[in-house]
Chains A and B, each alone.
Chain A
Amino acid sequence: MRQILDPDGRLMADPPVDLATTRRLYRSMVAARLFDRKCVAMQKQGRLATYAPYEGQEAAQIGSAAAVAPDDWLVATYRDAAAMWMQGFPWESLVLWRTGDERGAAAPEGVPVLPPSITVGAHMLHAVGLAWAARLRGEDRIAITYFGDGATSEGDFHEAMNFAAVYNTGTVFLCQNNGYAISMSRKEQTKSETIAQKAEAYGVPGTVADGNDVLAVFAATTEAADRARSGGGPTLIEAVTYRAGPHTTNDDPRRYRDASEEHEWARRDPIERVRRYLEANGAWDGAWQHDIEVTETDVIEQAVAAAEALDVQEPEAMFGAMFAETTPQLSDQLAALRETR
């Protein structure tokens, strides 16, 4: 398993980036955690529908998304708001979608991020197709796709890995092995020693990184992205991490895992180790921490306020988004709905 920063923030290998960049990664992880906790709070207040928290997985998402180019496609899931945000998806949209509004799934023009996938595993194939299209069109773009350990049991994982290999697409498969597919532990899901070793069966390089080590994830993703961009084809990265919270806000992890395990993983927190590393190198102090928390909180609060201030969509939005040109049936049905409200 590739590690660069140990849980105490000590370097175990040469870092892939300088301290200034590490500070940016740190700040992004802090912002991502603030957003996640804000969403959990909003769900408890009844302002969001079910929410799938990602606390504990910030390094896996931020470290990988930071390693791709602004033009690269990013295809992720409902638990990957941090990765999507890193690739340009606004907090406002990310919270809007979770309030129950389709507009929040639409990336702004120029942001190469697909709507978050809720079906488990299906979206990996979309990332293969996107990278394939880029190659056919001679574009200098790759695709990165995010999924969990649970998704590797889906047939679409197999088909995506196989197609990516067969057509040599520039696809980075970023598995956040967070230990659980809702309630089923990673060891129960597959007899494979690692998720990464599954890559071998497809003729694809597979690698394991400490998913709570943002520098290790960054380094592994940079290598995979370079390979993809230079025509070397796909890579499977297994980022070993831990979902600190429940699967969703409707779930109680006490039913399937011990508190002791959560405490053990809390010691390996992805943010704290970077803080220690930065502090030991004179690149962190309490005043800066306070400053970034205040600033990022303000940005997130403004995004939330903007999302909640949006008017509810008119029925036309629902009917009008089915096809480029509406059908007689949809027009009739819209009229029928209009008559009753």
Chain B
Amino acid sequence: MTATTIADAIRGALAAELESDSRVMVLGEDVGRNGGVFRITDGLQAKYGPDRVVDTPVAESGIIGTAVGLAIGGMRPVCEMQFMGFSYPAFDQIASHVARMRNRSRHRFTLPMVIRMPFGGGIGAAEHHSESNEALYVNVPGLKIVVPSTPYDAAGLIHSAVADPDPVIILEPIRLYRAVKEEVPDLPFDVPIGVARVERTGSDVTLISYGAMTKEMRWAADHLATEGVSVEVIDIRTLVPLDEATVVASVEKTGRAVVITEAARTGGFASEIIAVIQERALYSLEAPIQRVTGWDTVFPLRRTEEYYLPSVERIVRAARATLEA
């Protein structure tokens, strides 16, 4: 066991899949010789060759559309969208074909394929490079969507996603690629899809988030602890299918919930989590559920980026609001 970043964990997990299953292939823009713009696939083409780690033309629909055929044809493609904000040209392939092939063909054709999308802001990137539009994909039935926020979960979810018989989208928090280190056991190991992780137990309020905002969530929990608040912290890790039971059990215990996402507010995934709590744990609530989200604005450029992303202070204030209600 050695301490590793999320970036290294994903690379290691992809290498392990390429090593153990000759059907696995990686394809995307600049993933080969260049090792990907985030260097996630660095060295993989040199080791596994250009047929298995494929540099593609700049054509997101082409990547996903050919992967549909590759998967039906017996391969296990792992596609990289260079940034989530560049995935929209592939949206038709994802929504109209990737998500539906099993249903449309009544199980005759299935798509064991993975789509990796670096997502989220906080790195001062150019326009379109900071998007957190997971709600677009969450509302498409037929996709599983996972979001690791630790090196361990990243490696385990890559393994689970590649092994899954159905399409899985992995949202990778750009801001955390190299921000955290953690010891990761020998590969491969499994982090089950559809299971949230309670990473801190408490009794006063439940904080719920995923992706890069888990960092602010943990800091907020630390801060609240100094004020004597007992905080439960949940990284939900999988958006679809959501682990409702873990969320509901926690809120039934604490009676208070704050849901944190960096996505825009209206129709965002926070709304779905809140709806589930409302449906299943309303009578346990001591206070209205709070959500801390990005705004309904275009994601700003570097100099005003901090206006947009939920801060520790906003999370702490939201938690206090539930405690003071």
A residues in contact (CB < 8 Å) with B: 73, 75, 102-103, 105-107, 109, 114-115, 117, 119, 122-134, 136-137, 143, 155-156, 159-160, 162-163, 166-167, 317-318, 321-324, 327-330
Contacts and interface: CB of A to CB of B under 8 A. Distances in A.
Interface of B is mostly: mixed
The 9 closest A-B pairs by CB, nearest first: A129-B69, A125-B65, A133-B73, A159-B62, A327-B241, A129-B66, A130-B69, A106-B108, A126-B69
Interface stretch (B1-9, B95-103, B300-308, B309-317): B95-103
Given A122-B92, A129-B73, 6 more contacts: A102-B106, A124-B65, A125-B69, A130-B69, A163-B59, A163-B62
A127 B97 CA distance: 13
Contacts of B65: 122, 124-126, 128-129, 156, 159-160
Contacts, number: 147
A317 B103 CA distance: 9
Contact of B66 (A107, A128, A322, A328): A128
A322 B69 contact: no
B62 A321 contact: no
Contacts of A329: 241-242, 244
Contact of B72 (A130, A318, A324): A130
Contacts of B61: 122, 125, 155-156, 159
Given A106-B105, A106-B108, A328 B245 contact: yes
Nearest to A97: B104
B108 A128 contact: no
Contacts of A128: 65-66, 69
Interface string B25-66: 100000000000000000000000001001011010110111
B141 interface: yes
Nearest to A75: B69
A162 B75 contact: no
B110 interface: yes
Contacts of B101: 115
A80 B17 CA distance: 39
Interface string B62-86: 1011111111111101000000000
Contacts of A136: 25, 51, 70, 75
Nearest to A166: B57
B82 to A, nearest CB: 16
A335 to B, nearest CB: 14
B105 A132 contact: no
A160 B62 contact: yes
A305 B23 CA distance: 42
Contacts of A73: 69, 73
Nearest to B165: A324
A162 B59 contact: yes
B69 A143 contact: yes
B72 A125 contact: no
Contacts of A106: 105-108
A229 B93 CA distance: 27
A331 B194 CA distance: 14
A133 B71 CA distance: 8
B74 A155 contact: no
Nearest to B54: A167
A163 B96 contact: no
Contacts of A318: 103
A141 to B, nearest CB: 8
24 contacts: A73-B69, A102-B103, A105-B104, A122-B65, A122-B97, A125-B62, A125-B64, A126-B65, A126-B66, A128-B69, A129-B70, A129-B71, A133-B74, A136-B70, A137-B73, A159-B57, A159-B65, A160-B62, A318-B103, A321-B102, A321-B103, A322-B142, A323-B165, A329-B244
B242 to A, nearest CB: 7
Contacts of A119: 92, 96-97
Nearest to B23: A137
Contact of A127 (B62, B69, B244): B69
B190 interface: no
A133 B69 contact: yes
A143 B68 CA distance: 14
B109 interface: yes
Contacts of B102: 321-324
B89 interface: yes
Nearest to A171: B69
Nearest to B75: A133
Contact of A126 (B74, B97, B244): B97
A147 to B, nearest CB: 13
Contacts of B108: 106-107, 109, 115
A323 B166 contact: yes
A129 B242 contact: no
A238 B240 CA distance: 43
B105 A130 contact: no
A166 B245 CA distance: 48
B144 interface: yes
Nearest to B243: A328
Nearest to A133: B73
Contacts of A125: 61-62, 64-66, 68-69, 93
Of B105, B141, B194, chain A has the most CB atoms within 10 Å of the CB of B105
A69 B103 CA distance: 27
Interface in B109-151: 109-110, 141-142, 144
B73 A134 contact: yes
A115 B57 contact: no
A129 B54 CA distance: 13
B247 to A, nearest CB: 12
Contacts of B77: 129
Contact of A137 (B54, B71, B74, B144): B74
A133 B111 CA distance: 13
B104 A132 contact: no
A298 to B, nearest CB: 28
B10 to A, nearest CB: 23
Contacts of B64: 125
A327 B92 contact: no
